[in-house]
Amino acid sequence: MNKVISGAREAVQGIPDGATILMGGFGLCGIPENLIAALRDKGTKHLIVASNNAGVDDFGIGILLRSRQVKKMISTYVGENDTFERLCLSGELEVELVPQGTFAERLRAGGSGIPAFYTPTGVGTLVATGKEVREFDRRLYLLEKALRGDFAFVKAWRGDRLGNLVYRKTARNFNPLMAAAADTTIAEVEQLVEPGSLDPDTVITPGIYVDAIFQGTNYEKRIEQRTHRPKGGAGA
């Protein structure tokens, strides 16, 4: 078994117009930089992209918005992107806003063979519109449906030829959930290693969820909000 492919360009070859793609990351942290850039270069259109955020104007998913390749975004917060705002207001981009915990759980359900679940989040709000509400133990819950993708683009720190993945710090975020919730999962990693190099106890995404893997290049890993404390000082 060898899931290793040459790179992002090969990875996006088979992605058709109109595909639904799950993209890992929180803000610009843990995003599949190489895959997003390759998809921009290929010019695939009418995409439905599910990702917590929509990148910034000139980086992350923002570059796919700029080139008008995205038809619809499924996200939880999209505040850092002017292009996004402009496309929304002009009606060129459709948006489904989902509470973040519901978004995460819909992905987990999607990867786990669970078609829907009840959650207390959003009861009594606009999010509940059109959804079944049911009472359990004298509390109200909403029925939310699983979310899956045709493809998932995930970013990990290290991965092996069999697709086992290890993440680093908060760059993990939605990546493991998305890896499990797509028909085809493509992983880009900073370090591609041989099977046996990863401690099996530390693997977060077992290789069964990953169809293709490659070592990415030229990671920018841009920081959105650079915040500091004075040297030697405390404070948050």
Partner 1 sequence: MKSESSRERIVRRAALELRDGFYVNLGIGMPTLVANYIPRGMTVILQSENGLLGIGPFPEVGEEDPDLINAGKQTITEIPGAAYFHSADSFAMIRGGHVDLTVLGGMEVDQEGNLANWMVPGKMVKGMGGAMDLVAGARRVVVMMTHVTKEGEPKILQKCRLPLTGARVVHRIISDLAVMDVTPAGLVLAEIAPGVTVEQVRQATEAELKVDPETLKTVMV
> For binding to partner 1 (CB under 8 A), which residues are involved?
26-30, 52, 75-80, 85, 88-89, 97, 99-105, 107-108, 119-127, 157, 167-177, 204, 221-236
What is the nearest approach in angstroms of partner 1 to the Cβ of residue 179?
10
What is the nearest approach in angstroms of partner 1 to the Cβ of residue 167?
8
Of 12 and 28, the one with the shorter C-beta distance to partner 1 is 28
Of 12 and 60, the one with the shorter C-beta distance to partner 1 is 60
From the number of C-beta atoms within 10 Å of its C-beta (0-12, 13-18, 19+), residue 192 rates as middle
What is the nearest approach in angstroms of partner 1 to the Cβ of residue 210?
15
Give 170's DSSP letter. G
**Structure token pair of residue 203:** 């693997």
What is the nearest approach in angstroms of partner 1 to the Cβ of residue 69?
21
The backbone torsions φ and ψ at residue 207, rounded to the nearest 5 degrees and listed phi first, read -55, -20
The helix or strand, by DSSP H or E, that contains position 136, with its residue range, turns out to be strand 133-136
Integer Cα distance of 29 and 193 in angstroms: 22
What is the nearest approach in angstroms of partner 1 to the Cβ of residue 73?
10
What is the nearest approach in angstroms of partner 1 to the Cβ of residue 40?
21
Give the other-Cβ count within 10 Å of 67's Cβ. Answer: 14
The answer to whether the beta carbons of residues 8 and 34 sit under 8 Å apart is yes
The answer to whether the beta carbons of residues 205 and 164 sit under 8 Å apart is yes
Give the other-Cβ count within 10 Å of 104's Cβ. Answer: 18
Of 88 and 192, the one with the shorter C-beta distance to partner 1 is 88
Integer Cα distance of 151 and 147 in angstroms: 12
First and final C-alpha spacing in the chain: 47
Of 58 and 224, the one with the shorter C-beta distance to partner 1 is 224
Q: Are strands 116-119 and 139-145 parallel, antiparallel or unpaired?
A: antiparallel
Of 3 and 106, the one with the shorter C-beta distance to partner 1 is 106
State which amino acid sits at residue 118.
Y
What is the nearest approach in angstroms of partner 1 to the Cβ of residue 19?
23
Of 4 and 192, the one with the shorter C-beta distance to partner 1 is 192
Of 77 and 161, the one with the shorter C-beta distance to partner 1 is 77
